[in-house]
Structure 1
């Protein structure tokens, strides 16, 4: 079908279908992922990123063009996983920024210009762009679109030409990158982009698509779900909303909300911010937010009522007759996740990432089979994935499989960073087998470090260890012995990042660490490792001063 304009309705449909096509082919992309390391997760990362963008679009009731592009940019940003996912999110971000709010539709030339803006944004996001990757394929396709759109007024034909040209560029990527040539494959990210563009073109060719991808409802995953007894709820109202405005300072906004509640999450990008907070005064939250812009998608839930209704539902075994309540989103999923962790901060992180329950446990406090079984049996799922997050809990978790009537899957995560990495790969829309494969692969991509202290005199590799010495452990192997925990942490990270040119260093600091000292450490690491993103969180764990992940 010939188009000389694309409106919000068609663009929404095309993006959702593109996500569907990529999802169907993500394993093909995974098999190509040999750069910079053969981790085999590019397709999965790109697919999960697109799934979130598509999910947000499925929830969007408006077909207004600007809202569609902004929502796609927001969803891809929130769902971005891995370098390829981040690049995808930047493509959407640059595209959305180039579309003005008064546009109801765009011409082929305007589309090409917006795509080019997305490519420019993606290049800026990469510290050292490498040719022969998704960036090259995207840039060449954008240039082809721009050239054709100046002489052809048919969006479908322009897209078909760009796709054909992009496939030729993809075929040349092994000549641009030695590692691809040696492995005899094309670039994985570029191949993923080709699948996305194929899906987009299919939607242009057939605007009446009725694929399941267009019909399925987006899964909702609240960042924090109510898990405890009603009398433990300090803040009654779970409040979520979006802010649209200029110059939103996310850090300052979070600071302004800090006295109004807990479980605070403030995320966003230029012009858009999302707030999640548990508060007793949602009105004050909204008043604070109003200072920064226009509010939308406001949702306020009374968690005490939620709890009472949930208990009533469980006791009466009624699944369809509950009136006027906000149904906990975990009942929409087919698979539940139970994690083991120690420390309130780490528990909050697991819950925010989608765990349905977190069992208190870890070093020196391993949960029993009964503890794990009890947590599983109260979950409304037939399939449950257990993340032990400790080598000493794996066998106990395996025992639950012999007792429970549910389908229990134990992912042998040996550390908290491995558990978090596994959870980041979980997608409620995928099958249990696909989830287990993706989560297992993510575990392999994480290096774990731990800083604790010696409980007795010992000796290691010719080095005498005194009781009270601080020791650094990398993936279960003792690496550093010192008296100062900060020195051990820095030396340990040196070993963990060895051989890596870039990545993410995440530090979870424990009960006995001053927040000011972690800021100083973060500043030192940022200066030393310019190509790494440095993140730190209050894990609240005991015994371990620091838990570190490098990926």
Structure 2
């Protein structure tokens, strides 16, 4: 018995899509040769849908607590939003836009269980989804997930007038996508040379198959075909496909970094951002709307890509991945050692990337989950990894991530950094050329020798170690405890510096937040120079929200 196109169907779709991508993830990773042969398309799609599924469950929970049931618009809107904020890689970002395109139609129509109306709504939703993916990609290429999405919409168009309703439209879209996927090696040379189909298109076929199953009530577990029409010998396995793909992968002349971030910005600012990023690199995909966007680009200058986001609006959840080596194959050459650092701002993310680390940028109140840290460790493509949590609240999360990565064969050291300034100190002494244990000791010692402080603004009246503060007071926290309460940011900062330097110090590190006044750094540098002779000062534009100033004293 076919199921109606409603909120329950969307919920079932999410669950079935996760199951399908879970089964296909490794096979899709193995055929990932375009646009970069970095072997993570299946994983990225799975993580994107996982975020979408969590958002849908949250929508159902929220309505249940209010004694109501979510409608189709609520469920599909939550799915699209969850995919947008959790999108990973080129393929995940495109799928997020595809879901947003479907939402634009289904949320507006509020399609009912009536077979004819649901079928027509789904047909138009799939057409809008395919069109929106082309709008999101700076330079569309045929033979990719874009082609597969269009073929699915074409097939849905032909089936919309039949009597089977939305379930028949979804099944037709799935079959149309499967046929288009098989043809992709003849449309894109790199796929033909590797003897595989497009990895992103492969994931979309799995996603549409899950939609068809959710609406028909009939589950199909037929594996998605990953081979071209003239396949490699079956005994060769995915490793042979990887080796065959080497001739078609990007070499040293391709961009070195993948940069992804969420961005709060207006339409005009995003239009300017697209132009700027298009000049910096390739594989540019910008999806979203209504003030929230997901930006994906491949560049050589990761810092410039992040800075462009800062100029456009407020970037966060920044992920910068180095493709690893001059030749980017499906299995990137493993580095001997890498650093993964959690940082609170866009500027610090760029600083870490320039220093060779893999940053995980977060916003206040949005700490990363252990799975996100595990993925960052994987993307570092190293046999040994130094993990810098840079926050005492992340100690257990980071420990769980490190333990998971160790089960996957990566040697991970958790450096006990409690602040971003301690992370900067640890990163400054990192030396991959020495032994692992010696590097751990040096980085841990550098972090431990750095006292840390931050300036914050009190949100409400409360008791502190320094007395009672009122809403709006400036708080100076030293080593995690409130030590100074003031009314002026600069005056409070100089008091904190004097207290910290009274115990000695040779270098002061100042990390300016997004709300720091322009004159703050100059006034503090002058104060240190005049009051504390022989103490050097270094200033970074961290761009963090919440804390207008971070201070480190070594």
- With normalisation by structure 1, the TM-score equals 0.45
- With normalisation by structure 2, the TM-score equals 0.44
